[in-house]
Amino acid sequence: MVVLGVDPGITHLGLGVVAVEGKGTLRARLLHGEVVRTSHREAAQERVGRIHARVKEALLRFQPQALAVEEQYFYRQNELAYKVGWALGAVLVAAFEAGVPVYAYGPMQVKRALAGHGHATKEEVALMVRGMLGLKEPPGPSHLADALAIALTHAFHARLQAAKPL
């Protein structure tokens, strides 16, 4: 199974593609990782367009069976939620165009799946991602580590047949 994980953001959007194999113990390997960066100085359509193009390119290049995104929770951060929505919209349109189902996982689900408890730090999650993918260093920056963690979380949920499309 190939999964594209996305940590949505309008300024920094993490993209991580992993291939997962195995019936008992999962074996995962990194296929691609990047952070798509945009600037607040750019027009909104340029920012959203670039994000859409990069996600679409990853979908076409790696042909994932699923796209997994981190569910966003915003409390009293309306402007941030609005702009992250631009990025998430670009991701959803790209997935629709490619015919790839989208799954969403909250931060605590990701932490539980990778670290075994819902209160893991970002550093603990990055270390688990490093170990699961056999990397020499924890992935960075944090947006990339989060995207890879989300992709791995989907692989675990899909294996347990607990994944439900967004």
Marked catalytic residue, from 21, 57, 70, 146: 70
Taking the model in full, what pTM does it have? 0.90
- The CA distance from 111 to 120, in Å, is 6
Confirm or deny that 57 is annotated as ligand binding.
Answer: no
The string of pLDDT tens digits covering residues 104-154 is 998 889 999 888 888 888 889 999 999 999 999 988 889 999 999 999 999
pLDDT tens string 51-82: 999 999 999 999 999 999 988 665 556 666 77
Query: What is the tens place of the pLDDT at every residue in 34-56?
Result: 999 999 999 999 999 999 999 99
- Known catalytic membership, residue 146: no
**Is 42 annotated among the ligand-binding residues?**
no
The angle formed by the CA atoms of residues 166, 63 and 83, to the nearest 5 degrees, is 45
The confidence score (pLDDT) of residue 43 equals 94
**146 belongs to an annotated ligand binding site:** no
Please pick, among 52, 143, 154, 157, the residue that the annotation labels catalytic: 143
Residue 54 and residue 72: Cα distance in Å, rounded? 20
Residue ranges of domains in the chain, CATH in brackets: 2-159 (3.30.420.10)
40 is catalytic: no
Rounded to the nearest 5 percent, the helix, strand and coil shares of the chain are 50, 20, 30
